[in-house]
Chain A
Amino acid sequence: MHLPEIDKYSHLQSYLHSWDPRAKITSFSFLILSIVLLGKLPVALVGFVLASALVLSSRIPLRFIFKHLRWVLLFVSVFFILMSIFIPGQELYRFHSLVISQEGLQKGTLIAVKALTITLLIFPMIGTTPFPTTIKALEGLRVPHVLVQISAFTYRYIFLSIAEGKRMIIALTSRGFERKTDLHTLQTLGKLIGMMFVRSYERTERVYQAMVSRGYNGEMVTMNEFHLHGGDIGKAIFISLLGVILISLEVVL
Protein backbone atom coordinates (compact mmCIF):
# COMPACT_ATOMS: atom_id res chain seq x y z
CA MET A 1 0.00 0.00 0.00
CA HIS A 2 1.51 3.34 -1.04
CA LEU A 3 1.75 5.86 1.76
CA PRO A 4 3.08 9.42 1.43
CA GLU A 5 6.45 9.96 3.12
CA ILE A 6 8.20 13.30 3.11
CA ASP A 7 11.36 11.70 4.56
CA LYS A 8 11.57 8.97 1.92
CA TYR A 9 15.07 10.13 0.86
CA SER A 10 16.41 11.03 4.29
CA HIS A 11 18.86 8.11 4.06
CA LEU A 12 20.85 9.72 1.21
CA GLN A 13 24.26 11.31 1.74
CA SER A 14 24.74 15.07 1.34
CA TYR A 15 25.89 18.05 3.39
CA LEU A 16 22.20 18.69 4.13
CA HIS A 17 21.61 15.13 5.34
CA SER A 18 24.54 15.17 7.76
CA TRP A 19 23.52 18.52 9.26
CA ASP A 20 22.23 18.85 12.85
CA PRO A 21 18.45 19.18 12.30
CA ARG A 22 18.10 21.94 14.90
CA ALA A 23 20.54 24.19 13.05
CA LYS A 24 19.00 23.18 9.74
CA ILE A 25 15.42 23.98 10.81
CA THR A 26 16.43 27.30 12.39
CA SER A 27 18.41 28.61 9.43
CA PHE A 28 15.94 27.37 6.81
CA SER A 29 13.11 28.96 8.78
CA PHE A 30 15.01 32.25 8.65
CA LEU A 31 15.49 31.87 4.89
CA ILE A 32 11.78 31.10 4.45
CA LEU A 33 10.86 34.15 6.53
CA SER A 34 13.13 36.28 4.33
CA ILE A 35 11.31 35.05 1.24
CA VAL A 36 7.93 35.75 2.81
CA LEU A 37 9.03 39.37 3.33
CA LEU A 38 10.06 39.92 -0.31
CA GLY A 39 7.95 42.31 -2.34
CA LYS A 40 9.94 42.61 -5.55
CA LEU A 41 9.63 40.03 -8.31
CA PRO A 42 13.31 40.06 -9.45
CA VAL A 43 14.48 39.39 -5.87
CA ALA A 44 11.88 36.67 -5.46
CA LEU A 45 13.20 35.08 -8.67
CA VAL A 46 16.73 35.16 -7.19
CA GLY A 47 15.28 33.38 -4.14
CA PHE A 48 13.66 30.81 -6.41
CA VAL A 49 17.00 30.11 -8.13
CA LEU A 50 18.74 29.75 -4.74
CA ALA A 51 16.01 27.39 -3.48
CA SER A 52 16.31 25.31 -6.68
CA ALA A 53 20.08 25.08 -6.17
CA LEU A 54 19.55 23.91 -2.57
CA VAL A 55 17.04 21.31 -3.74
CA LEU A 56 19.47 20.03 -6.37
CA SER A 57 22.26 19.80 -3.80
CA SER A 58 20.01 17.76 -1.49
CA ARG A 59 20.11 14.87 -4.02
CA ILE A 60 16.40 14.24 -3.51
CA PRO A 61 15.16 12.91 -6.89
CA LEU A 62 13.44 15.65 -8.91
CA ARG A 63 10.65 13.27 -9.86
CA PHE A 64 9.73 12.96 -6.17
CA ILE A 65 9.74 16.75 -5.82
CA PHE A 66 7.63 17.39 -8.95
CA LYS A 67 5.15 14.74 -7.82
CA HIS A 68 4.55 16.64 -4.59
CA LEU A 69 4.76 20.10 -6.20
CA ARG A 70 1.86 19.48 -8.60
CA TRP A 71 -0.75 20.05 -5.89
CA VAL A 72 0.96 23.25 -4.79
CA LEU A 73 1.12 24.34 -8.44
CA LEU A 74 -2.59 23.74 -8.80
CA PHE A 75 -3.31 25.79 -5.67
CA VAL A 76 -0.93 28.58 -6.67
CA SER A 77 -2.25 28.80 -10.23
CA VAL A 78 -5.74 29.56 -8.88
CA PHE A 79 -4.29 32.53 -6.97
CA PHE A 80 -2.25 33.56 -10.00
CA ILE A 81 -5.31 33.62 -12.27
CA LEU A 82 -7.57 35.36 -9.74
CA MET A 83 -4.99 38.05 -8.90
CA SER A 84 -4.21 38.70 -12.56
CA ILE A 85 -7.88 39.30 -13.25
CA PHE A 86 -9.12 41.05 -10.13
CA ILE A 87 -6.27 43.42 -9.24
CA PRO A 88 -6.94 46.66 -11.11
CA GLY A 89 -4.20 48.37 -13.14
CA GLN A 90 -2.87 48.97 -16.61
CA GLU A 91 -4.72 46.78 -19.08
CA LEU A 92 -2.53 44.15 -20.77
CA TYR A 93 -5.13 41.89 -22.32
CA ARG A 94 -8.92 41.90 -22.53
CA PHE A 95 -11.22 38.93 -23.09
CA HIS A 96 -14.83 40.18 -23.17
CA SER A 97 -15.33 41.72 -19.72
CA LEU A 98 -12.25 40.05 -18.18
CA VAL A 99 -9.22 42.30 -18.01
CA ILE A 100 -5.72 41.11 -17.18
CA SER A 101 -3.78 43.96 -15.60
CA GLN A 102 -0.02 44.45 -15.49
CA GLU A 103 -0.08 45.00 -11.70
CA GLY A 104 -2.27 41.92 -11.21
CA LEU A 105 0.03 39.79 -13.34
CA GLN A 106 3.07 41.03 -11.42
CA LYS A 107 1.54 40.45 -8.00
CA GLY A 108 0.16 37.08 -9.06
CA THR A 109 3.58 36.03 -10.35
CA LEU A 110 5.24 37.29 -7.16
CA ILE A 111 2.88 35.27 -4.95
CA ALA A 112 3.28 32.18 -7.16
CA VAL A 113 7.09 32.41 -7.20
CA LYS A 114 7.27 32.96 -3.43
CA ALA A 115 4.90 30.06 -2.70
CA LEU A 116 6.84 27.73 -4.97
CA THR A 117 10.17 28.84 -3.48
CA ILE A 118 8.97 28.22 0.07
CA THR A 119 7.56 24.81 -0.89
CA LEU A 120 10.84 23.93 -2.58
CA LEU A 121 12.76 24.81 0.58
CA ILE A 122 10.66 22.38 2.62
CA PHE A 123 12.34 19.46 0.81
CA PRO A 124 15.95 20.20 1.84
CA MET A 125 14.74 21.31 5.29
CA ILE A 126 12.46 18.39 6.21
CA GLY A 127 13.15 15.76 3.54
CA THR A 128 16.82 15.30 4.40
CA THR A 129 16.18 14.17 8.01
CA PRO A 130 14.11 11.19 9.20
CA PHE A 131 10.83 12.71 10.39
CA PRO A 132 11.12 11.30 13.94
CA THR A 133 14.47 13.11 14.24
CA THR A 134 12.87 16.32 12.96
CA ILE A 135 10.26 16.03 15.71
CA LYS A 136 12.99 15.48 18.30
CA ALA A 137 14.78 18.52 16.91
CA LEU A 138 11.64 20.63 17.35
CA GLU A 139 11.62 19.53 20.97
CA GLY A 140 15.30 20.48 21.22
CA LEU A 141 14.40 23.93 19.83
CA ARG A 142 11.87 24.37 22.67
CA VAL A 143 8.87 24.42 20.36
CA PRO A 144 5.80 24.14 22.67
CA HIS A 145 5.18 20.52 23.74
CA VAL A 146 1.59 20.58 22.52
CA LEU A 147 2.65 21.45 18.96
CA VAL A 148 5.44 18.86 18.96
CA GLN A 149 3.11 16.16 20.27
CA ILE A 150 0.42 17.03 17.72
CA SER A 151 3.04 16.63 14.95
CA ALA A 152 4.33 13.38 16.43
CA PHE A 153 0.88 11.85 16.87
CA THR A 154 -0.21 12.96 13.40
CA TYR A 155 2.88 11.38 11.87
CA ARG A 156 2.45 8.18 13.89
CA TYR A 157 -1.25 7.68 13.23
CA ILE A 158 -1.80 9.20 9.79
CA PHE A 159 -0.51 6.02 8.15
CA LEU A 160 -2.88 3.95 10.22
CA SER A 161 -5.83 6.19 9.34
CA ILE A 162 -4.97 6.14 5.62
CA ALA A 163 -4.64 2.35 5.68
CA GLU A 164 -7.94 2.07 7.57
CA GLY A 165 -9.70 4.39 5.09
CA LYS A 166 -8.34 2.36 2.17
CA ARG A 167 -9.51 -0.89 3.74
CA MET A 168 -12.99 0.58 4.23
CA ILE A 169 -13.11 1.72 0.58
CA ILE A 170 -12.04 -1.78 -0.55
CA ALA A 171 -14.85 -3.23 1.58
CA LEU A 172 -17.32 -0.80 -0.03
CA THR A 173 -16.07 -1.59 -3.54
CA SER A 174 -16.36 -5.33 -2.91
CA ARG A 175 -20.05 -4.73 -2.15
CA GLY A 176 -20.59 -3.01 -5.49
CA PHE A 177 -19.95 0.62 -4.52
CA GLU A 178 -18.75 2.91 -7.32
CA ARG A 179 -17.72 6.51 -6.90
CA LYS A 180 -19.96 8.74 -8.99
CA THR A 181 -21.05 12.35 -8.87
CA ASP A 182 -24.33 11.63 -7.15
CA LEU A 183 -25.96 11.96 -3.73
CA HIS A 184 -25.51 8.27 -2.87
CA THR A 185 -21.72 8.57 -3.29
CA LEU A 186 -21.63 11.68 -1.14
CA GLN A 187 -23.76 10.05 1.56
CA THR A 188 -21.65 6.88 1.54
CA LEU A 189 -18.34 8.75 1.69
CA GLY A 190 -19.77 11.00 4.40
CA LYS A 191 -20.65 7.95 6.51
CA LEU A 192 -17.19 6.49 5.86
CA ILE A 193 -15.46 9.67 7.02
CA GLY A 194 -17.79 9.83 10.03
CA MET A 195 -16.95 6.25 10.97
CA MET A 196 -13.24 7.02 10.61
CA PHE A 197 -13.67 9.89 13.09
CA VAL A 198 -15.50 7.59 15.53
CA ARG A 199 -12.77 4.96 15.24
CA SER A 200 -10.07 7.60 15.68
CA TYR A 201 -11.83 8.89 18.77
CA GLU A 202 -12.02 5.40 20.25
CA ARG A 203 -8.36 4.83 19.42
CA THR A 204 -7.36 8.05 21.17
CA GLU A 205 -9.08 6.74 24.31
CA ARG A 206 -7.09 3.50 24.13
CA VAL A 207 -3.80 5.25 23.29
CA TYR A 208 -4.35 7.58 26.24
CA GLN A 209 -5.06 4.61 28.56
CA ALA A 210 -1.89 2.91 27.31
CA MET A 211 0.07 6.10 28.01
CA VAL A 212 -1.40 6.52 31.49
CA SER A 213 -0.57 2.86 32.17
CA ARG A 214 3.08 3.78 31.71
CA GLY A 215 2.95 6.71 34.11
CA TYR A 216 1.92 9.57 31.78
CA ASN A 217 0.43 12.49 33.71
CA GLY A 218 0.10 15.12 31.02
CA GLU A 219 3.75 16.01 30.73
CA MET A 220 6.05 14.49 28.13
CA VAL A 221 9.49 13.55 29.41
CA THR A 222 11.88 12.80 26.56
CA MET A 223 15.57 12.32 25.87
CA ASN A 224 17.34 14.56 23.35
CA GLU A 225 20.78 13.64 22.16
CA PHE A 226 21.95 16.17 19.60
CA HIS A 227 25.49 17.45 19.38
CA LEU A 228 26.14 20.70 17.55
CA HIS A 229 29.51 20.82 15.73
CA GLY A 230 31.36 23.67 14.07
CA GLY A 231 30.32 22.47 10.63
CA ASP A 232 26.64 22.62 11.62
CA ILE A 233 27.00 26.22 12.71
CA GLY A 234 28.93 27.07 9.49
CA LYS A 235 26.13 25.64 7.34
CA ALA A 236 23.53 27.51 9.38
CA ILE A 237 25.43 30.79 8.87
CA PHE A 238 25.64 30.11 5.12
CA ILE A 239 21.88 29.50 4.75
CA SER A 240 21.04 32.47 6.98
CA LEU A 241 23.36 34.66 4.86
CA LEU A 242 21.29 33.76 1.80
CA GLY A 243 18.29 35.21 3.62
CA VAL A 244 20.24 38.33 4.56
CA ILE A 245 21.37 38.77 0.93
CA LEU A 246 17.78 38.51 -0.31
CA ILE A 247 16.56 41.09 2.19
CA SER A 248 19.49 43.39 1.30
CA LEU A 249 18.68 43.09 -2.41
CA GLU A 250 15.06 43.93 -1.61
CA VAL A 251 16.18 47.11 0.16
CA VAL A 252 18.82 48.15 -2.41
CA LEU A 253 16.91 47.48 -5.66
Chain B
Amino acid sequence: MRKVIEIKGLSYRYAEGTQALRGVDLEVFWGESMALIGPNGAGKSTLLLHLNGILRGEGLVKVLGKKLTKGNARGIRGKVGLVFQDPEDQLFSTTVFEDMAFGPLNMGHPKEKIKGRVTRALGQVGMEGYEERCPHHLSYGEKKRIALATVLSMEPEILVLDEPTSNLDPSARRSLIGLLKQLKLTKVVATHDMEVVAEVCERVILLSRGEVVADGGAREILTDVDLLEAHELEPPPVVRLFRQMGATEIPLTIEEVKPFILEEVLWEREGEISS
Protein backbone atom coordinates (compact mmCIF):
# COMPACT_ATOMS: atom_id res chain seq x y z
CA MET B 1 0.00 0.00 0.00
CA ARG B 2 1.10 3.55 -0.78
CA LYS B 3 2.38 5.56 2.16
CA VAL B 4 0.82 9.04 2.24
CA ILE B 5 2.36 10.17 5.52
CA GLU B 6 5.66 9.01 6.97
CA ILE B 7 6.99 10.37 10.24
CA LYS B 8 10.29 9.33 11.80
CA GLY B 9 11.67 10.38 15.20
CA LEU B 10 9.52 13.50 15.45
CA SER B 11 10.00 15.55 18.60
CA TYR B 12 8.58 18.96 19.43
CA ARG B 13 8.99 21.27 22.40
CA TYR B 14 6.85 24.39 22.88
CA ALA B 15 8.59 27.68 23.63
CA GLU B 16 7.39 27.60 27.24
CA GLY B 17 9.20 24.27 27.71
CA THR B 18 6.48 21.62 27.36
CA GLN B 19 7.84 18.59 25.51
CA ALA B 20 4.77 17.74 23.41
CA LEU B 21 6.19 15.03 21.11
CA ARG B 22 9.02 12.56 21.83
CA GLY B 23 10.39 10.61 18.91
CA VAL B 24 7.11 9.80 17.18
CA ASP B 25 7.25 7.23 14.36
CA LEU B 26 4.15 6.91 12.23
CA GLU B 27 2.99 5.77 8.81
CA VAL B 28 -0.38 6.44 7.25
CA PHE B 29 -1.43 4.55 4.12
CA TRP B 30 -3.57 5.72 1.22
CA GLY B 31 -7.32 5.33 1.78
CA GLU B 32 -7.18 4.30 5.43
CA SER B 33 -9.03 5.94 8.30
CA MET B 34 -6.74 6.28 11.26
CA ALA B 35 -7.71 7.43 14.73
CA LEU B 36 -5.29 9.24 16.98
CA ILE B 37 -6.37 8.72 20.57
CA GLY B 38 -4.83 9.68 23.87
CA PRO B 39 -5.53 11.57 27.09
CA ASN B 40 -5.51 15.37 27.30
CA GLY B 41 -2.02 16.72 26.74
CA ALA B 42 -0.87 13.57 24.91
CA GLY B 43 0.28 15.63 21.92
CA LYS B 44 -2.50 14.76 19.46
CA SER B 45 -3.20 18.31 18.26
CA THR B 46 0.53 19.09 18.16
CA LEU B 47 1.10 16.05 15.95
CA LEU B 48 -1.73 17.11 13.62
CA LEU B 49 -0.19 20.56 13.21
CA HIS B 50 2.98 18.85 11.94
CA LEU B 51 1.11 17.09 9.14
CA ASN B 52 0.83 20.27 7.07
CA GLY B 53 3.89 22.10 8.35
CA ILE B 54 2.19 24.57 10.69
CA LEU B 55 4.60 23.36 13.36
CA ARG B 56 8.04 22.03 12.52
CA GLY B 57 9.82 19.88 15.07
CA GLU B 58 12.94 17.74 14.95
CA GLY B 59 12.67 14.63 12.83
CA LEU B 60 11.37 13.63 9.44
CA VAL B 61 7.88 14.34 8.12
CA LYS B 62 7.09 13.09 4.60
CA VAL B 63 3.74 13.80 2.98
CA LEU B 64 2.78 12.12 -0.30
CA GLY B 65 6.37 11.06 -0.74
CA LYS B 66 7.86 14.54 -0.27
CA LYS B 67 9.87 15.64 2.72
CA LEU B 68 7.97 18.53 4.31
CA THR B 69 10.08 21.69 4.24
CA LYS B 70 9.42 25.39 4.66
CA GLY B 71 9.57 25.74 0.88
CA ASN B 72 6.95 23.14 -0.03
CA ALA B 73 4.67 23.44 3.03
CA ARG B 74 2.20 25.74 1.25
CA GLY B 75 1.71 23.31 -1.62
CA ILE B 76 1.31 20.39 0.78
CA ARG B 77 -1.39 22.29 2.67
CA GLY B 78 -3.56 21.97 -0.42
CA LYS B 79 -3.23 18.18 -0.17
CA VAL B 80 -3.63 17.86 3.62
CA GLY B 81 -6.90 19.43 4.74
CA LEU B 82 -6.81 20.23 8.44
CA VAL B 83 -10.13 20.78 10.25
CA PHE B 84 -9.66 22.50 13.61
CA GLN B 85 -11.49 21.54 16.79
CA ASP B 86 -13.28 24.87 17.24
CA PRO B 87 -15.07 25.94 14.05
CA GLU B 88 -14.97 29.56 15.28
CA ASP B 89 -11.21 29.44 14.63
CA GLN B 90 -11.69 28.17 11.12
CA LEU B 91 -14.61 30.34 9.99
CA PHE B 92 -13.21 33.86 10.06
CA SER B 93 -14.91 35.40 7.02
CA THR B 94 -18.13 37.33 6.95
CA THR B 95 -19.90 34.87 4.64
CA VAL B 96 -19.76 31.11 4.22
CA PHE B 97 -18.83 31.51 0.55
CA GLU B 98 -15.76 33.62 1.35
CA ASP B 99 -14.60 31.05 3.90
CA MET B 100 -15.14 28.24 1.41
CA ALA B 101 -13.34 30.11 -1.38
CA PHE B 102 -10.41 31.13 0.86
CA GLY B 103 -8.42 27.89 0.53
CA PRO B 104 -8.87 27.34 -3.23
CA LEU B 105 -8.04 31.01 -3.95
CA ASN B 106 -4.85 30.79 -1.90
CA MET B 107 -3.93 27.63 -3.78
CA GLY B 108 -4.17 29.64 -6.98
CA HIS B 109 -7.15 27.85 -8.49
CA PRO B 110 -8.89 29.82 -11.25
CA LYS B 111 -11.63 32.12 -9.95
CA GLU B 112 -14.21 30.83 -12.45
CA LYS B 113 -13.89 27.33 -11.02
CA ILE B 114 -14.17 28.38 -7.35
CA LYS B 115 -17.97 28.51 -7.37
CA GLY B 116 -18.15 24.92 -8.58
CA ARG B 117 -15.76 23.78 -5.84
CA VAL B 118 -17.78 25.63 -3.18
CA THR B 119 -21.08 24.15 -4.38
CA ARG B 120 -19.59 20.65 -4.49
CA ALA B 121 -18.08 20.91 -1.00
CA LEU B 122 -21.32 22.28 0.46
CA GLY B 123 -23.17 19.39 -1.17
CA GLN B 124 -20.73 16.90 0.38
CA VAL B 125 -21.58 18.15 3.88
CA GLY B 126 -25.31 18.55 3.16
CA MET B 127 -25.31 22.35 3.45
CA GLU B 128 -26.39 23.43 -0.02
CA GLY B 129 -27.59 27.03 -0.27
CA TYR B 130 -25.61 28.33 2.72
CA GLU B 131 -23.18 30.40 0.61
CA GLU B 132 -24.38 33.84 1.66
CA ARG B 133 -25.01 33.04 5.33
CA CYS B 134 -22.89 34.68 8.04
CA PRO B 135 -20.90 32.03 9.96
CA HIS B 136 -21.71 33.60 13.34
CA HIS B 137 -25.43 33.11 12.72
CA LEU B 138 -25.09 29.34 12.23
CA SER B 139 -25.68 26.67 14.89
CA TYR B 140 -22.59 24.95 16.29
CA GLY B 141 -23.35 21.78 14.33
CA GLU B 142 -23.70 23.78 11.11
CA LYS B 143 -20.43 25.57 11.85
CA LYS B 144 -18.66 22.21 12.25
CA ARG B 145 -20.00 21.05 8.88
CA ILE B 146 -19.04 24.29 7.15
CA ALA B 147 -15.57 24.15 8.73
CA LEU B 148 -15.19 20.69 7.20
CA ALA B 149 -16.48 22.00 3.87
CA THR B 150 -13.92 24.85 3.84
CA VAL B 151 -11.26 22.15 3.71
CA LEU B 152 -13.12 19.89 1.27
CA SER B 153 -13.35 22.81 -1.18
CA MET B 154 -9.55 22.51 -1.54
CA GLU B 155 -10.12 18.89 -2.65
CA PRO B 156 -7.42 17.47 -0.37
CA GLU B 157 -6.05 13.91 -0.57
CA ILE B 158 -5.75 13.58 3.19
CA LEU B 159 -8.35 14.83 5.66
CA VAL B 160 -7.09 15.60 9.16
CA LEU B 161 -9.70 16.27 11.84
CA ASP B 162 -9.11 17.48 15.38
CA GLU B 163 -11.92 16.38 17.74
CA PRO B 164 -14.63 16.48 15.07
CA THR B 165 -17.52 15.63 17.41
CA SER B 166 -16.59 17.73 20.46
CA ASN B 167 -19.37 19.99 21.85
CA LEU B 168 -21.96 18.68 19.39
CA ASP B 169 -25.48 17.71 20.46
CA PRO B 170 -26.32 14.00 19.97
CA SER B 171 -28.18 14.53 16.71
CA ALA B 172 -25.48 16.72 15.13
CA ARG B 173 -22.84 14.26 16.35
CA ARG B 174 -24.64 11.29 14.82
CA SER B 175 -25.08 13.14 11.57
CA LEU B 176 -21.38 14.14 11.47
CA ILE B 177 -20.31 10.54 12.10
CA GLY B 178 -22.49 9.48 9.14
CA LEU B 179 -20.86 12.18 7.03
CA LEU B 180 -17.31 11.13 7.98
CA LYS B 181 -18.11 7.52 7.09
CA GLN B 182 -19.26 8.62 3.64
CA LEU B 183 -16.12 10.64 2.81
CA LYS B 184 -13.84 8.47 0.72
CA LEU B 185 -10.52 10.05 1.65
CA THR B 186 -7.51 9.13 3.74
CA LYS B 187 -8.54 10.30 7.20
CA VAL B 188 -6.57 11.04 10.36
CA VAL B 189 -8.94 11.72 13.24
CA ALA B 190 -7.75 12.91 16.66
CA THR B 191 -10.55 12.23 19.12
CA HIS B 192 -11.66 11.21 22.60
CA ASP B 193 -14.94 9.92 21.19
CA MET B 194 -14.44 6.16 21.07
CA GLU B 195 -17.71 5.61 19.23
CA VAL B 196 -16.33 7.74 16.39
CA VAL B 197 -13.21 5.60 16.40
CA ALA B 198 -15.25 2.39 16.35
CA GLU B 199 -17.53 3.56 13.54
CA VAL B 200 -15.18 5.59 11.34
CA CYS B 201 -11.65 4.21 11.77
CA GLU B 202 -10.06 0.86 11.03
CA ARG B 203 -6.69 1.68 12.59
CA VAL B 204 -5.81 3.32 15.92
CA ILE B 205 -2.69 5.01 17.23
CA LEU B 206 -2.55 5.56 20.98
CA LEU B 207 -0.45 8.56 21.93
CA SER B 208 0.52 9.23 25.52
CA ARG B 209 2.89 11.91 26.83
CA GLY B 210 4.09 12.59 23.30
CA GLU B 211 4.94 8.97 22.48
CA VAL B 212 3.21 6.32 20.40
CA VAL B 213 2.37 3.56 22.88
CA ALA B 214 0.16 1.41 20.66
CA ASP B 215 -0.52 1.05 16.96
CA GLY B 216 -3.02 -1.50 15.72
CA GLY B 217 -6.44 -2.33 14.35
CA ALA B 218 -9.42 -0.54 15.89
CA ARG B 219 -10.83 -3.82 17.26
CA GLU B 220 -7.52 -4.81 18.81
CA ILE B 221 -6.98 -1.45 20.58
CA LEU B 222 -10.58 -0.65 21.53
CA THR B 223 -11.13 -4.03 23.17
CA ASP B 224 -7.92 -3.78 25.19
CA VAL B 225 -9.58 -2.27 28.24
CA ASP B 226 -6.45 -2.47 30.39
CA LEU B 227 -4.38 -0.56 27.81
CA LEU B 228 -7.01 2.15 27.44
CA GLU B 229 -7.55 2.55 31.19
CA ALA B 230 -3.81 2.71 31.78
CA HIS B 231 -3.82 5.81 29.59
CA GLU B 232 -6.89 7.50 31.10
CA LEU B 233 -9.15 6.41 28.27
CA GLU B 234 -12.36 4.43 28.17
CA PRO B 235 -13.51 1.84 25.61
CA PRO B 236 -16.83 2.37 23.81
CA PRO B 237 -19.92 1.57 25.99
CA VAL B 238 -20.69 -1.57 23.95
CA VAL B 239 -17.20 -2.95 24.60
CA ARG B 240 -17.48 -2.22 28.34
CA LEU B 241 -20.86 -3.98 28.51
CA PHE B 242 -19.69 -7.14 26.72
CA ARG B 243 -16.44 -7.17 28.73
CA GLN B 244 -18.40 -7.00 31.99
CA MET B 245 -20.63 -9.82 30.76
CA GLY B 246 -17.50 -11.87 30.21
CA ALA B 247 -18.17 -12.35 26.50
CA THR B 248 -15.39 -13.82 24.41
CA GLU B 249 -16.50 -12.20 21.16
CA ILE B 250 -16.78 -8.43 21.58
CA PRO B 251 -18.66 -6.10 19.21
CA LEU B 252 -17.52 -2.48 18.79
CA THR B 253 -20.67 -0.74 17.59
CA ILE B 254 -24.43 -0.90 18.05
CA GLU B 255 -24.67 -2.35 14.52
CA GLU B 256 -22.40 -5.19 15.54
CA VAL B 257 -24.45 -5.84 18.71
CA LYS B 258 -27.68 -6.47 16.75
CA PRO B 259 -26.85 -10.06 15.64
CA PHE B 260 -25.96 -10.98 19.26
CA ILE B 261 -29.33 -9.75 20.56
CA LEU B 262 -31.28 -11.35 17.71
CA GLU B 263 -29.53 -14.65 18.42
CA GLU B 264 -30.39 -14.34 22.12
CA VAL B 265 -34.05 -13.52 21.41
CA LEU B 266 -34.39 -16.42 19.01
CA TRP B 267 -32.74 -18.76 21.51
CA GLU B 268 -35.19 -17.67 24.26
CA ARG B 269 -38.19 -18.09 21.95
CA GLU B 270 -37.05 -21.57 21.01
CA GLY B 271 -36.78 -22.37 24.73
CA GLU B 272 -40.32 -21.09 25.37
CA ILE B 273 -41.76 -23.13 22.48
CA SER B 274 -40.04 -26.36 23.49
CA SER B 275 -41.13 -25.97 27.14
- Which of chain A's residues have a CB closer than 8 A to the CB of B103? 214-215
- Assess whether B88 is in contact with A209, with CB atoms less than 8 Å apart: no
Instruction: Check B92–A207 contact: CB distance below 8 A.
Output: yes
Is there an interface contact between B84 and A210, defined as CB atoms closer than 8 Å? Answer: yes
- Find residues 97-153 in chain B having any chain A CB closer than 8 Å to their own CB: 98, 101-103, 105-107, 111, 114, 134-136, 150-151
Tally of contacts, chain A with chain B, CB under 8 A: 77
- Chain B residues with CB under 8 Å of A207's CB are 89-90, 92
Q: Contact between B114 and A213 (Cβ–Cβ < 8 Å)? A: no
Interchain nearest-CB distance for A135 vs B (Å)? 6
Q: Are B54 and A212 in contact (CB under 8 A)?
A: yes
Residue of A nearest to B73 (CB): A212
CB closest residue in chain B, given A134: B94
Bound: A153/B52 CA distance, A: 24
Which residues of B sit under 8 angstroms from A155, Cβ to Cβ?
Answer: 94
Residue in B52, B74, B95 whose CB lies within 8 Å of A217: B74
Q: How far is the CA of A213 from the CA of B160 in the complex (A)?
A: 11
A152 CB → nearest B CB, Å: 6
A156 touches B106 (CB 8 A): no
Least distance between A166 CB and chain B CB atoms (Å): 14
A149 to chain B: closest residue by CB: B92
State whether the Cβ of A74 lies closer than 8 Å to any Cβ in chain B: no
A30 within 8 A of B: no
Q: Tell me what chain B mostly uses at the interface: helix, strand, loop, or mixed.
A: helix
Is B49 an interface residue when CB atoms closer than 8 A count as contact? yes
The verdict on A215 contacting B78 (CB below 8 Å), with A152-B94, A223-B101, A223-B111 known, is: yes
CA A106 – CA B248 in complex, angstroms? 93
**Contact at A156–B136, with CB atoms within 8 Å?**
yes
Contact with B along A118-148 (1 / 0, CB 8 A): 0000000000000110010000000000000
B198 adjacent to chain A (CB < 8 Å): no
Tell me if B82 is interfacial: C-beta within 8 Å of chain A: yes
Q: Is B72 in contact with chain A by the CB < 8 A criterion?
A: no
**Minimum C-beta distance from A163 to chain B (A):** 9
Min distance, Cβ A238 to any Cβ of chain B, angstroms: 29
In the bound complex, do residue A221 and residue B105 qualify as a contact, i.e. CB atoms below 8 Å apart?
Answer: yes
Kindly supply a per-residue 1/0 record for chain A positions 159-172, scoring 1 wherever the CB is within 8 Å of any chain B CB and 0 otherwise: 11000000000000
* Complex partner residue of A223 from B81, B86, B94, B114, CB under 8 angstroms: B114
Q: Given A214-B154, A215-B77, verify A221-B106 contact (CB < 8 Å).
A: yes
The reply on B182 being an interface residue by CB < 8 A is no
Contacts of B89 in A (CB 8 A): 203, 206-207, 209-210
Residues 53-94 of chain B, each 1 if its beta carbon lies under 8 Å from chain A, else 0? 010000000000000000000100110011010101111111
Size of the B side of the interface (Cβ < 8 Å), in residues, is 33
- B54, A209: Cβ atoms under 8 Å? yes
Q: How far is the CB of A218 from chain B (nearest CB, A)?
A: 10
Which B151-177 residues sit within 8 Å CB-CB of chain A? 151, 154
State A207–B54 Cα separation when bound (angstroms).
12
Given the complex of chains A and B, what is the CA–CA distance between A55 and B81 in angstroms? 47
Q: Which residue of A lies closest to B107 (CB)?
A: A215
Do residues A214 and B136 form an inter-chain contact, with CB atoms below 8 A?
Answer: no
In angstroms, Cα B90 to Cα A210, docked, is 5
Q: Which of chain A's residues have a CB closer than 8 A to the CB of B111?
A: 223
- A174 interface hit (Cβ, 8 Å): no
A156 pairs with B94, CB closer than 8 A: yes
Residues A212 and B77 in contact in the complex (CB < 8 Å), given A156-B135, A223-B101, A223-B111: yes
Which of chain A's residues have a CB closer than 8 A to the CB of B95? Answer: 132
Chain A residues, CB < 8 A from B114: 223
Known: A215-B78, A216-B106, A217-B74. A210 touches B94 (CB 8 A): no
Q: Please determine whether B74 and A215 come into contact, CB atoms closer than 8 angstroms.
A: yes
In Å, the complex CA distance between A152 and B74 comes to 24
State in angstroms the CA–CA spacing of A221 and B98 once bound together: 10
A222 to B101, CA, bound (A): 8
Task: Please list the 3 inter-chain residue pairs (A to B) with the smallest Cβ-Cβ separation, ordered nearest first.
Answer: A215-B106, A132-B94, A214-B103
5 example contacts (A-B, Cβ-Cβ < 8 A) are as follows A135-B94, A152-B94, A210-B90, A213-B81, A215-B77
**A binding-site residues for B, Cβ under 8 Å:** 131-132, 135, 152-153, 155-157, 159-160, 203, 206-207, 209-217, 221-223
Beyond contacts A132-B95, A215-B103, A223-B98: 15 other A-B pairs, Cβ-Cβ < 8 A, are: A135-B94, A152-B94, A157-B92, A160-B136, A206-B86, A210-B89, A213-B52, A214-B103, A214-B151, A215-B77, A215-B107, A217-B74, A222-B101, A222-B105, A223-B105
